Amino acid sequence: MEDKARRALPLSLLSFGANKVITVGTTIVLARLLDPTEFGLFALAIMMLALLSMFNDFGFGRLLIARQDLDAVAKGTMLTAMVATSALLGLALAAVSSPIAGLFDEPRLQSLLVIIAVTLALSGPVWFYDTLLQRELEFKARLVAQVVQNIAFAAVAIGLVLLDHGVTGLVVANVASYVAYLACLLWVAPYHVRPAFARGRIGELLVGSRGFVVQGGVLFAQQNADNLTVAKVLGSGPLGAYFLAYRLAQLTTEGIARPVANVTFSAFSRMRHRGEDWGAAYLSTLRMIALAACPVAFVVGAAADPVVRLLYGPKWLVMIGPLAILGLWAILHALEWTVMSLLNTIGEADVAAAAATAAIVLLVPLLVLGAETGGLNGVAWVLTGHSAAMTIVLATLVARRGGVALRDQWAAVRTILLAGAVGWGVTRLITGATAQAPAVLGVLAAGAAGLAAYYAAISLALPGLLGHALRQARETVRRPAMRA
């Protein structure tokens, strides 16, 4: 990868760290102030926002990164389409708020959807300029904007909840955070794109982005089918607990795989545009994702009991079962996200979208069956199995379409996953042994023992890997930034 991409990687990870400290801290405070039903209503409002949001960019956001040869007219046409569409979708969400509330038998949901429709109306320009910063590898500026967004949400949400506005305060805070985010993005953008509309370019852009459109829909279904199933089959109270469990387990993807993919997607696209070989860089990325994701996932999952008691308190104990299972899902999903990003980079977005679409057709009825027979745990197990199957399918497509052999991909992560299994087992063992101890001691003891076992297993099986990873990280941070 070019030096600018290497320099962007720690900034992307730093962005996660800074923002997750804020968001996780905010979530813990709000969980102590609200009950699961309130969070369940907020999750439903966010899901409806996400459902319509996937239609507001026509897949142009990912295309903006993948196509490094786009001119000013094409970019301006994308911006115009995204702004206009998001405004129309915001009006549409407000118009259908009543029947959606009736569908879930939640009367309070109607007013929440009307408020959050403002967020949807703002999402077009927000997504465009967020993606523009990613395209230009301007992750320092993106970090600043995201920190501003999360601070705005935290301040408004906690303030309004303390003033007894409950879930309405969360939705208003979501709107406020988008306003702050858009203002900051416009301020830190490396350049501003003039809106344009070239009718002749629309068809070309739509053809190029169709795979990303399908992937957006499938991604929404994959990320929200479980939540929608829980809401319909089990109700908004269990949804609130499942929502927080999912968000905590998702740290491996949101905090490791996604920030890395944000950089590698741009970097690999540039390498492909220049005709360079990306295979070795992909395998190295896959290995590093597994190395970093395993400890986060097994500490969160294997020590789910003391983690929930420590962070959220006794009214959230229903989270423990699904969180323990979703810890396994978290590792698989981080790898799935990385492989999917690679397929997009090499121009196989349509193939990846087709595979994901076929898989989601099976996922939905299985989730309903899991919810009806196993409750929240059943849903979590179905999601974990789906992610395992998708990772294998996508890796096979990389082998066939990208020329990176399946055995090489497996070799990149095999030993790390086995060491993760050792760490997982030790963490569970210590969690059980400290069950009667205070939650903070249980988390510290189980986490420390699991991490020690994991890194010991890695060091024995792959003696030079940890040292290489640390050296690579230091070189990346110290490498001087260069002009693209």
What is the reported pLDDT for 443? Answer: 92
Q: For residue 190, report the phi and psi dihedrals to the nearest 5 degrees.
A: -65, -25
What is the reported pLDDT for 446? Answer: 93
What is the reported pLDDT for 480? Answer: 38
Question: Would you list the domain boundaries of the chain?
Answer: 1-197, 208-479
What is the reported pLDDT for 484? Answer: 32
Residues in the chain: 484
Residue, of 198 and 49, whose pLDDT is higher: 49
**What amino acid occupies position 111?**
S
In the chain, what is the straight-line distance between the N-terminal and C-terminal CA atoms, in Å?
Answer: 12
Within 8 A by CB and 6+ apart from 231, the residues are 40, 43, 44, 104, 239
What average pLDDT score do residues 422-433 get?
93
What average pLDDT score do residues 124-135 get?
83
Confidence band of 423 (pLDDT split at 50, 70, 90): very high
Confidence band of 481 (pLDDT split at 50, 70, 90): very low
Residue 479 reports pLDDT greater than 50: no
> What mean pLDDT, rounded, does the chain reach?
81
What is the reported pLDDT for 346? Answer: 74
Helices (H) and strands (E) in the chain, counts: 19, 0
The DSSP-derived string for 410-477 is HHHHHHHHHHHHHHHHHHHHHHHHTTTS-HHHHHHHHHHHHHHHHHHHHHHHSTTHHHHHHHHHHHHH
Residue 380 reports pLDDT greater than 90: yes
Residue 476 reports pLDDT greater than 60: no
Model confidence over 251-295: pLDDT tens digits? 776 666 666 666 666 666 666 667 667 777 788 888 888 888 888
CA dihedral 201, 203, 205, 211 (to 10 degrees): 180
Confidence band of 26 (pLDDT split at 50, 70, 90): confident
What is the reported pLDDT for 478? Answer: 46
What average pLDDT score do residues 293-301 get?
85
